[in-house]
Structure 1
Amino acid sequence: MALPAGVSRGIRVRSGLVAAVSLALGLGLQLLERTPVVDVLGSVVYIVFIASALRAIWPSLGAVACSATAFGFATLVELSQLTELPQRVVDAFPPSRLLLGSAFDPIDMFAYAGGAVLAFLVHVALVGRARVAAPSAVAGD
């Protein structure tokens, strides 16, 4: 179902702001010493960024669908690290390491789940749910 233009624009703007903040946080975490806590926080922020970017692009997709899609995408990327494909891509284009990671870590799967929950909560609280009023059955109600 298409959203009214005003609702769609508001969701895009707020989602874009959440994506920008989470991207800045994620890049800031790259400047810190790598610790297990920083690694988990980075994974959580990664999910919030993906969900927010997705909702900024496709505002009619709800908070649950965006969060679940972000979790699914990150899980596929994490599982792909069990193969040599991501390393080949990183060898050819080093900045892709930020997206593809470096090695499989099962703890990241739990961090992604936490990130999906956080993304859902942020989207419900800050981005909002699209509420479209049903047309009145009788004119003048």
Structure 2
Amino acid sequence: MSAPSPRDPRAEGSPSPSRVSHGADLRVRMMLTATAAVVLLAGLALQLLDRTIAVDLVGSALYACLVGLVVAIAWPRLPSWVLAAVAFDASAAIELLQLTGIPSRFVDAVPPLRLVFGSSFDPLDLVGYAIGAVLLVVVLAAARRIVRRPTGSAGPADRAPAG
């Protein structure tokens, strides 16, 4: 076996590119899992409020955002726009499925599934899902930016003044 060439990243003791990206994926997944937990708790808390148009819109937005976060946890390298499209499409498909009566059979058998399948079709929910898809893009950008930030780097307030 030959010694690594000077251009080989292993020669400098740095981790291989696959290990770097795996570590970044793990950090992104952890960040997104924590975010998904917060979104889920916020959505469940909305169930305690009186139903208004604003509460319905926020709930629908959180639902779509949660769907996208779950997909992002599984596939963290997918582009944000793809995850947003999947979140909107999946949420809209479940909303449209309510027109068939199939979800009501699931909910009759297992009442907590109402939180997943809803109770009846509402076109306003589609607006909420679009808002949630946009929210998802913002959340993903923030999470990815936080994970990419080098650890131990001083922010502007931490730097010593020159002079």
Q: TM-score range by the shorter chain?
A: 0.7 to 0.9
Q: 1:101 aligns with which of 114, 118, 143?
A: 118
Please identify the structure whose Cα radius of gyration is greater.
2
Q: Does 1:70 align with 2:81?
A: no
Structure 2 unpaired stretches of 5+:
1-18, 149-163
Q: Identity of aligned pairs, percent?
A: 42
Q: Please name the residue that 2:133 is paired with.
A: 116
With the length of structure 2 as denominator, give the TM-score of the two structures.
Answer: 0.75
1:9-88 map, 5 Å: 9-88=26-105
2:125, 2:43 → 1: CA distance?
15
CA shift for structure 1 position 93: 0.7
With the length of structure 1 as denominator, give the TM-score of the two structures.
Answer: 0.86
- CA 1:75–1:4: 2 relative to 1, 3 Å: same
Letter paired with 1:116: A
Where relative contact order (Cα < 8 A, 6+ residues apart) is larger, the structure is: 1
CA RMSD of aligned residues (A): 2.0
CA shift for structure 1 position 37: 1.0
Aligned length: 131
Name whichever of 35-44 and 58-67 sits farther off: 58-67
1:24, 1:76 → 2: CA distance?
23
Q: Please name the residue that 2:156 is paired with.
A: none
Letter paired with 2:63: Y
Q: SS at 2:76's partner residue? A: coil
Kindly provide the CA deviation profile for residues 33-56 of structure 1, in whole angstroms up to 9, marking residues without a partner as x. 111111111000111111112111
CA shift for structure 1 position 18: 1.1
